[in-house]
Chain A
Amino acid sequence: MTELTRRHFGLLAGASLSSLAMPSLVLAQGKPKVVVIGGGPGGGTAARYIAKESNGAIDVTLIEPQKTFTTCFFSNLYVGGFRDYKSLTHNYEKVKKSGVKVVHAAATAIDRDKKQVVIAGGQRIPYDRLLVAPGIDIKFDSVPGYSEAAAEIMPHAWKPGAQTQLLVKKLNALKDGDQIVMVAPPNPYRCPPGPYERVSMFAHVLKKKGFKKSRIVVLDPKPTFSKQGVFAEGWENHYPGMIEWQDPKMHGGVKEVDAKAGTVKTDLADYKAALVNVIPAQWAGKIARDAALVNNTGYCPIDAASMKSTVDPNIFVVGDASIAGEMPKSAFSANSQAKVAAMIIRSELTQSRAFPARYSNTCWSLIAPDDDIKVGASYEPKDGAIKATTTFVSQKNEAAELRKQNYKESVDWYNGITADIFG
């Protein structure tokens, strides 16, 4: 189309838009439009699946400010020295090749009445269906004394990128006798076994350096945690006496962190540590909160059969930002939810067949070289929520060969899922 005809077309479309309020007629004017906010496991998967499975019948735009995406998943393996940073970074070239228009800008607002997304710079992108997958934001003030500035000294490293690199830099600079303190997060948070896999990787690095005097203290606001039994067994086997995990009854609560002084105060004791990893509480990414897609939990309620927002029928929310019943906040879950949402969105816009929603998840965690444990489940909508239909978890005293097999499997999974998300 020439510039002139395109403008002409735009004017005509605009005129009919204002005179016809029926969404189906708006759809009839051209290809249906899907906009996706966030190019992580949730948004990347959804954008690619909608574009590819609709064979170009749907116009898909992905809005993501970053040119490359570094995964949080497997970032603990980078901490432990099993992966290099580059191997965690992916670009959007193949996403574009799948037929997705990628706009590298942040979405600044969702105009739900007009069905438009506003991006940085003010441009508006119209949608027939919007999929929101911005992940989580850190609630800095959930830990007294902690702030975005304090995170430059006491990293959370719960969002990928510079924070993870800072954590690794601090870990590698430790000397024997230096202490590590982790302030673990309250539920619900992204990657339930993540903090404990990270503790394992800290311990692995200290052990590898031959340190005898350094200790790791975990101050947990939860009385129990994911895969606790097998983690505890693994810590005892590989790192005896190195890790001290405290439940809230033992420490009585974290009263204050002081980044400059390098201290953490609890009811029980004060700690001074060369490396403090503070993982605060979390909630849905700002764009979802600003658009009032969240409830009082700070996350987005969804319909279990479709991942459709319960507050707006034109919007779907997947991944960490959603309230997905019994599913953990993981890349695996986000990828699985995105496929259900993509299938439903296509059926709504192009009358393709809809199938009953099926979800799944597996989370692998590395405790030590070749000692990898896993937890997983299949899920389906039941009584209005996503519920597990079958579950499994690694057991104590498993054969070393099985744990080694788990590790290899996790590496294959990483390659599989990143290809599924990014092409």
Chain B
Amino acid sequence: MRRWALARLRTISGMTIATAAIHAMAGSSTAADVELGRYLSSECTTCHGAAKADTTIPPIYGLDQRHFTEVLRAYRAKTLPNEAMRSVAARLQDEDIAALAAYFAAARPR
């Protein structure tokens, strides 16, 4: 189901992302600040908190960190559509994205 959600995000984009490069960057970072991620995640839960596999807004709990990072960076780079997500991602630094990815990978809905 996790993979499915992301696969769908990619289909929506209709584009390929330079995954390898992004993976390399995401993987090399120092330990993510999960507590920061938990705070930042409260912005996500407004829309994603009740998301299910079949909703337009995809579920994001338990997502693979690398995919999570890849998708948020793509929104930040405006290579994925959806103005709301582009706006959310615009102010995220790499550390913020790493923190969110680490938090959501392990977290359960509040």
Contact (Cβ within 8 A) A339 B87: no
Contacting residue for B90 out of A335, A336, A389, CB 8 A: A389
Nearest-CB residue, chain B, relative to A405: B56
Contact (Cβ within 8 A) A358 B91: yes
* Chain A residues within an 8 Å CB radius of B83: 374, 376, 392
Interface residues of B (CB under 8 A from A): 35-36, 38-40, 42-43, 45-51, 55-57, 83-84, 86-88, 90-91, 110
* Given contacts A52-B110, A378-B91, A380-B91, A416 and B43 within 8 Å (CB-CB): no
Nearest-CB residue, chain A, relative to B57: A412
* Chain B residues within an 8 Å CB radius of A9: none
Main SS class of interface, A: helix
* Chain A residues within an 8 Å CB radius of B35: 353
Contacting residue for B84 out of A392, A419, A420, CB 8 A: A392
A-B contact pairs, 12 of them (CB 8 A): A353-B35, A355-B36, A358-B40, A360-B46, A360-B88, A362-B47, A362-B84, A378-B88, A416-B47, A416-B57, A417-B46, A420-B110
Contact (Cβ within 8 A) B56 A408: yes
Does A413 make an interface contact (CB < 8 A)?
A: yes
| Contact digits for A304-340, partner B, Cβ 8 Å, 1 yes 0 no | 0000000000000000000000000000100110010
Nearest-CB residue, chain B, relative to A395: B83
* Given contacts A374-B84, A378-B91, A392-B83, A49 and B42 within 8 Å (CB-CB): yes
* Given contacts A376-B84, A412-B51, A343 and B39 within 8 Å (CB-CB): yes
- Interface residues in A380-423 (C-beta closer than 8 Å to B): 380, 389-392, 405, 408-409, 411-413, 415-420
Measured in the bound complex, the distance between the Cα atoms of B86 and A380 in whole Å is: 16
* Chain A residues within an 8 Å CB radius of B46: 332, 335-336, 360, 413, 416-417, 420
Give the contact-size bracket for chain A.
35 or more
Measured in the bound complex, the distance between the Cα atoms of B100 and A383 in whole Å is: 28
Nearest-CB residue, chain B, relative to A331: B46
Contact (Cβ within 8 A) B57 A390: no
- Listed residue (A336, A409, A412) with the most chain B CB atoms within 10 angstroms of its CB: A412
Contact (Cβ within 8 A) A413 B47: yes
Give chain A nearest CB distance to B12 CB in angstroms.
Answer: 9
* Chain A residues within an 8 Å CB radius of B110: 48-49, 52, 420
Pick the 6 closest A-B CB pairs, nearest first.
A392-B83, A412-B57, A408-B56, A419-B50, A339-B42, A415-B50
Contacting residue for A390 out of B43, B51, B87, CB 8 A: B87
Contact (Cβ within 8 A) B43 A409: no
* Chain A residues within an 8 Å CB radius of B57: 409, 412-413, 416
Measured in the bound complex, the distance between the Cα atoms of B100 and A204 in whole Å is: 42
Contact (Cβ within 8 A) B87 A377: yes
* Chain A residues within an 8 Å CB radius of B42: 49, 339, 343
Contacting residue for A412 out of B38, B55, B87, B91, CB 8 A: B55
* Chain B residues within an 8 Å CB radius of A48: 110
| Contact digits for A180-220, partner B, Cβ 8 Å, 1 yes 0 no | 00000000000000000000000000000000000000000
* Chain B residues within an 8 Å CB radius of A339: 42-43
Give chain B nearest CB distance to A374 CB in angstroms.
Answer: 7
